[in-house]
């Protein structure tokens, strides 16, 4: 009994200190809980919580949950000291490690919170400034010129889209920094790699866009210059001389074709800058195929003009020969079609054989028609020649 009293007397100060610490922990945790609840119930924060929850009771539950969480965190911070004073080392060690982790983690958490708060604040200001600047520069009106009436029904401003992109460029790196500070490297490291890859790709994107913009500018400039030259040489009058009555202008068609070709060339070069292997290969194939397409187009246009010219001349000479004129026109266009297919490389052997067979068939048909139709004519001519030879013999 005496031993028990001696032990109790020796441990009484520590026990009293432990109880005192427990009371202090409860009081401090309660004060923190009330402070957090009061802070969350302030006007602006309360309005934000209420706006996110349609039911006001849900926002009250959220405030109560956060306040109780603050109470629990503060109370747990006192537990290692309380257990140590009560000589409960088996319980104090885990809580000591836990509180040390919290104490070590809190500065990083606060730093991350400050960075995010300042970052969101600055990013919001920059977004508003960029949006106002783009509106002042008339970017929305400039883009709307190239948007059709149906697309205008979508209420999206280009200035807002670009401003939000700038906002994202500011916020995303700050979020990654905050994740690094709180030690979430599993998320931050892949995000860093993605951001670094994207940022290294941005100059290529701008270079590609610049190439396309320069290409469109040069293509329009050269197309307008070529159209003026063709108009000066009265190329449009060739269609009228060939008897072709069409609403389109040949100079306009040629200039637009040249513009499209130049834009395609610059677009392929832009794809090459972006290192898109598949699209670059497709673009290279298109570029290498363009000369064949252009030569095929020239053949068809030339054949079409020639066929109409020959048809009109035959009809002008004798209107009764419209069928013959149409036949000649079809023949010229048929030859042009075979030449075009051969130029484009579409089953070259089959096209050549079909052309040879067609020409042979036309030749045989012509020979047969001439032979059968001109039989009486040839018989009469041969009879006259025979009589003439007989008369010459008799005169001798």
Higher-pLDDT residue of 128 and 78 is 128
How many CA within 13 A on the CB side of residue 309? 12
> What would the pLDDT profile of 303-336 be if each residue is shown by its tens digit?
887 888 888 877 787 777 777 778 778 888 887 8
Kind and range of the H or E run holding 33: helix 2-40
Q: What is the mean pLDDT of residues 52-66?
A: 68
Instruction: Give the residue-averaged pLDDT of 162-182.
Output: 85
Structure tokens that stand for 362 in this block: 């036309």
Tell me the mean pLDDT in the region 140-149.
Answer: 60
Collapsing DSSP to helix, strand or coil, 318 comes out as coil
**Which stretches within 41-88 are classed as H helix?**
43-52, 56-85
Query: Does residue 129 register a pLDDT over 70?
Result: yes
Residue with tokens 């050549």: 352
Task: Return the pLDDT at 253.
Answer: 80
| Mean pLDDT of the region 62-90 | 76
Q: Give the three-state DSSP class for 396.
A: coil
Per-residue tokens: 391: 């008369």
Contacts of 299 (CB under 8 A, 6+ apart): 336, 339, 340, 343
Confidence of residue 218 (pLDDT cuts 50, 70, 90): very high
* Residue 210 CB partners (closer than 8 Å, separation 6+): none
CA angle 195, 199, 204 (to 5 degrees): 145
End-to-end Cα spacing for the chain: 181
- The 10s digit of each residue's pLDDT in 65-75 is 888 888 887 88
Q: Exposed (0-12), middle (13-18) or buried (19+): which is 67, by Cβ within 10 Å?
A: buried
> CA-to-CA distance for 244 and 265, rounded, in angstroms?
32
Interval 344-360: pLDDT, tens:
776 566 656 666 766 66
Q: Does the pLDDT at position 362 exceed 70? A: no
Global pTM value: 0.50
Judged against a pLDDT cut of 80, whether residue 6 lies above it is answered with no
Across the range 206-212, mean pLDDT stands at: 88
**DSSP-assigned letters across all residues of 207-270:** HHHHHHHHHHHHHHHHHHHHHHHHHHTTTHHHHHHTT---SS-HHHHHHHHHHHHHHHHHHHHH
pLDDT, residue 290, reads 76
Q: Are 99 and 115 in contact (CB under 8 A)?
A: no
Q: Residue 128 and residue 382: Cα distance in Å, rounded?
A: 102
% of the chain exceeding 90 in pLDDT: 1
Residue 97 confidence (pLDDT) above 50: yes
Instruction: Considering only residues 166 and 46, tell me which one the structure prediction assigns the higher pLDDT.
Output: 166
Using the predicted structure, report yes or no on whether residue 80 has a pLDDT greater than 70.
Answer: yes
Distance separating alpha carbons of residues 123 and 131, to the nearest angstrom:
12
Q: Say yes or no to pLDDT of 79 above 50.
A: yes
Q: Report the mean per-residue pLDDT for the chain.
A: 75
pLDDT score for 149: 43
Question: What confidence category does residue 1 fall into, taking pLDDT thresholds of 50, 70 and 90?
Answer: low
Mean local confidence (pLDDT), 294-307: 81
In this prediction, residue 5 has a pLDDT band, given cuts at 50, 70 and 90, of very low
Kindly state the average pLDDT of the residues 260-278: 83
30's CB contacts (< 8 A; 6+ apart) are: 71
**Which of 181-190, 199-208, 341-350 shows the highest mean pLDDT?**
199-208
Res 150: pLDDT: 44
Range picked from 9-18, 25-34, 190-199 for highest mean pLDDT: 25-34
């Amino acid at each position: 009994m005496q031993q028990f009293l001696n032990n109790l007397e020796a441990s009484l100060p520590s026990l009293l200190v432990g109880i005192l610490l427990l009371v202090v922990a409860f009081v401090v945790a309660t004060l923190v809980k009330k402070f957090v609840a009061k802070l969350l119930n302030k006007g602006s924060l309360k309005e934000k919580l209420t706006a996110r929850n349609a039911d006001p009771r849900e926002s009250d539950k959220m405030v109560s949950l956060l306040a109780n969480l603050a109470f629990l965190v503060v109370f747990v911070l006192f537990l290692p000291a309380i257990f140590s004073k009560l000589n409960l080392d088996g319980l104090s060690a885990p809580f000591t490690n836990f509180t040390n982790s919290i104490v070590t983690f809190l500065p990083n958490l606060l730093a991350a919170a400050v960075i995010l708060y300042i970052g969101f604040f600055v990013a919001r200001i920059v977004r508003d400034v960029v949006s106002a600047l783009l509106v002042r520069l008339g970017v929305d009106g400039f883009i709307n010129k190239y948007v059709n009436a149906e697309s205008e029904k979508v209420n999206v401003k280009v200035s807002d889209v670009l401003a939000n992109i700038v906002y994202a460029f500011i916020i995303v790196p700050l979020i990654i920094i905050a994740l690094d500070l709180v030690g979430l490297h599993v998320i931050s490291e892949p995000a860093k790699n993605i951001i670094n890859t994207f940022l290294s790709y941005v100059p290529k994107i701008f270079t590609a866009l610049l190439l396309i913009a320069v290409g469109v500018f040069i293509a329009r400039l050269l197309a307008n210059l070529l159209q003026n030259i063709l108009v000066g040489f009265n190329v449009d009058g060739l269609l009228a001389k060939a008897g072709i009555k069409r609403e389109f202008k040949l100079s306009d068609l040629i200039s637009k074709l040249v513009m499209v070709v130049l834009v395609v060339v610059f677009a392929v070069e832009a794809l090459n800058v972006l290192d898109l292997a598949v699209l670059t290969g497709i673009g290279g194939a298109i570029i290498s195929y363009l000369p064949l397409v252009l030569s095929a187009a020239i053949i068809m246009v030339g054949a079409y003009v020639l066929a109409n010219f020959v048809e009109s001349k035959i009809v002008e000479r004798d209107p009764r020969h419209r069928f013959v004129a149409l036949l000649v026109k079809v023949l010229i266009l048929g030859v042009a079609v075979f030449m075009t297919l051969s130029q484009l490389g579409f089953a070259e052997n089959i096209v050549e054989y079909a052309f040879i067979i067609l020409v042979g068939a036309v030749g045989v048909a012509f020979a047969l028609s001439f032979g059968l139709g001109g039989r009486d004519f040839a018989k009469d001519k041969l009879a006259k020649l025979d009589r003439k030879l007989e008369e010459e013999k008799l005169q001798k």
